[in-house]
Amino acid sequence: MRNIDHFIDGRRVAGTSGRHGDVFDPNSGQVQAHVALANTAELDRAVQSAVLAQRGWAKVNPQRRARVMFEFKRLLEVHMDELAALLSSEHGKVHGDSRGDIQRGLEVIEFACGIPHLLKGEYTQGAGPGIDVYSMRQPLGVVAGITPFNFPAMIPMWMFGPAIAAGNAFILKPSERDPSVPLRLAELMIEAGLPEGVLNVVHGDKDVVEAILKHPQIRAVSFVGSSDIAQSVYALGAQHGKRVQCMGGAKNHGIVLPDADLDQAVADILGAAYGSAGERCMALPVVVPVGEATAQALREKLVARIPDLRVGVSSDPQAQFGPVVTAAHRARIEQYIQMGVDEGAELVVDGRGFRLPGHGDGFFLGPSLFDRVTDKMTTYREEIFGPVLQIVRADSFEQALALPSQHQYGNGVTIFTRNGDAAREFAEQVEVGMVGINVPIPVPVAYHSFGGWKRSGFGDLNQYGQDGVRFFTRTKTVTQRWPRGGAVADQSFVIPTMR
């Protein structure tokens, strides 16, 4: 049985806690590896390594830090298929989707290559008599990231890319469900020229998460996961004096106006709802057609297309999506499907009971489709995180606008329309953090920032982009005067002004 170790001080380190977790192959349902689960002593070992390494790394000029990022980017491109295959083997997403996972993380690394420009402060000459004022952005020190199973490459790079480029050292606690890719990324960072100890990977469960949040030498924590946990992580981290950003759950809506290109909308909705088996926080699990005619036409087109979706093993190049991550998660999704039936929604397509020939023990689910879902149903209010699409019918534009605006989550939303005025009004009025206009998964590009509203995001700053740099740095402002020789000014006991 393969053992997955920690990565501390530039090398793989076997766990000493005596505890481990099982890592499954979702395609076969079999345990393929054991991952070490750290104790507080192992975490502290990683933190002390990071503390020592960060002192020297922060003194490396930004241009040289950027060169490490450039080389890491090159290595990612060289090892893309290797990383994608490894990712698929533990997560279950198809190979092309795994490549996309890595590519979106790589784009944040490309953004971090511009760190010399991103760290530039502001300067004012002559702010007062002989006085100049300037600001600088400085690293926080040792920072940490806690990442989920659904994007084991992208989200770690969202975090450690800007943080390390800015001069911090980083402790990564990835999901124990698919830990191998984060470990491999750390090895490639060392190969790219990163000093040992600047990036450490510590595997673990809630005990390690709590230890990270309480550790006095970790200055900031970035987290992505479910909303309940995000809220508790935010509170505990803030209680211990840390800067914290936490991205939570989602229930993204796709609004379909009567003038939409329905064929294009259906193609987009199918990919956004069922891609990656629905296991992504920017999936599109709710579609809101406006008007009965739109709803009926949309339903008919979805029902006609869903049987053609190909569910397969991760290595199947023809498969649109693969298995979900664990048997427990599959059971949870099936419970939500039954709950929807019990609540009175119409189950139009039932994905339960799907078995892939030759892979009967794999964690597979077929696509499911509900109609006549209402905003009072638990299955609408909560995140299912699986290949389940719900149709919630709206009578008017105003009702469709209210649904995502009033939902507890506010991660992403999309509107399908040919009407520019309606799209502009929707984008301005909707109470959601990321908006797509005829774009089904509106994840911002790397030089903008990712973040939801309401229970989808806790904290003032978003992931990556300029907000990522701001989160992992702090501003120092210097007011300077170089007096010339001559008479000494009188003492003043009032607050200084620039008059």
Distance CA 316, CA 258 (A): 37
**Tokens standing for 261?**
């290109």
Cβ burial, residue 28 (10 Å; 0-12/13-18/19+)? middle
What average pLDDT does range 298-324 have in this prediction? Answer: 97
Confidence at 483, pLDDT banded by 50, 70, 90: confident
Instruction: Specify the DSSP element, H or E, that contains 271.
Output: helix 262-274
Distance CA 490, CA 497 (A): 15
What average pLDDT does range 87-104 have in this prediction? Answer: 97
User: What is the pTM (predicted TM-score) of this model?
Assistant: 0.95
Q: CB under 8 Å to 316, separation ≥6 — which residues?
A: 94, 310, 322
CA 426 to chain centre: 25
pLDDT over 90 (residue 427): yes
pLDDT over 70 (residue 498): no
pLDDT at 89: 97
- Report, in angstroms and rounded to the nearest whole number, the Rg of the chain calculated over CA atoms: 25
Q: What is the end-to-end Cα distance of the chain in Å, rounded?
A: 74
Distance CA 46, CA 171 (A): 7
Residues identified as active-site: 281
Taking a C-beta distance cutoff of 8 angstroms, is the pair 33, 5 a contact?
no
Confidence at 484, pLDDT banded by 50, 70, 90: confident
pLDDT over 80 (residue 32): yes
**Tokens standing for 409?**
């989550």
Which residue has 């349902």 as its token pair? 29
pLDDT at 100: 97
Distance CA 384, CA 251 (A): 8
> Mind listing the pLDDT tens digit for each residue in 65-85?
999 999 999 999 999 999 999
For 223, half-sphere exposure in the C-beta direction (CA atoms, 13 angstrom radius) is 32
With vertex at residue 364, the alpha carbon angle to CA 360 and CA 365, rounded to the nearest 5 degrees, is: 125
pLDDT at 115: 97
* 225-230, Cβ contacts within 8 angstroms, sequence gap of 24 or more: 225/146, 225/148, 226/383, 227/383, 227/408, 227/409, 227/455, 227/456, 230/455, 230/458
Q: Which of 454, 324, 315 is nearest to 381 (CA)?
A: 454
pLDDT at 499: 65
Which DSSP string do the residues of 41-83 spell out, in sequence order? HHHHHHHHHHHHHHHHHHHS-HHHHHHHHHHHHHHHHHTHHHH
Confidence at 1, pLDDT banded by 50, 70, 90: confident
pLDDT over 70 (residue 486): no
Q: CB under 8 Å to 217, separation ≥6 — which residues?
A: 47, 48, 51, 141, 142
- SS3 of 199, please? strand
pLDDT over 70 (residue 487): no
What average pLDDT does range 232-246 have in this prediction? Answer: 97
**Tokens standing for 390?**
């719900």
- Beta carbons within 10 angstroms of residue 103's beta carbon: 15
Sign for the pseudo-dihedral over CA of 270, 276, 277, 281: negative
pLDDT over 70 (residue 488): no
Domains and CATH numbers, the chain: 2-248+456-478 (3.40.605.10), 253-437 (3.40.309.10)
Taking a C-beta distance cutoff of 8 angstroms, is the pair 402, 376 a contact?
no
pLDDT over 90 (residue 59): yes
pLDDT over 70 (residue 18): yes
Distance CA 139, CA 54 (A): 9
The rounded mean pLDDT for the chain is 96
> Mind listing the pLDDT tens digit for each residue in 143-192?
999 999 999 999 999 999 999 999 999 999 999 999 999 999 999 999 99
pLDDT at 150: 96
- SS3 of 189, please? helix
Widest CA span in the chain: 92
pLDDT over 90 (residue 496): no
pLDDT over 70 (residue 141): yes
Distance CA 206, CA 37 (A): 10
pLDDT over 90 (residue 471): yes
Confidence at 495, pLDDT banded by 50, 70, 90: confident
Distance CA 88, CA 340 (A): 30
**Tokens standing for 314?**
């991760």
Q: 130-134, 261-265, 269-273, 411-415: which range is least confident on average?
A: 130-134
- Between strands 169-173 and 142-146, the pairing is parallel
- Name the CA dihedral angle for 257, 261, 262, 265, rounded to a multiple of 10 degrees: -90
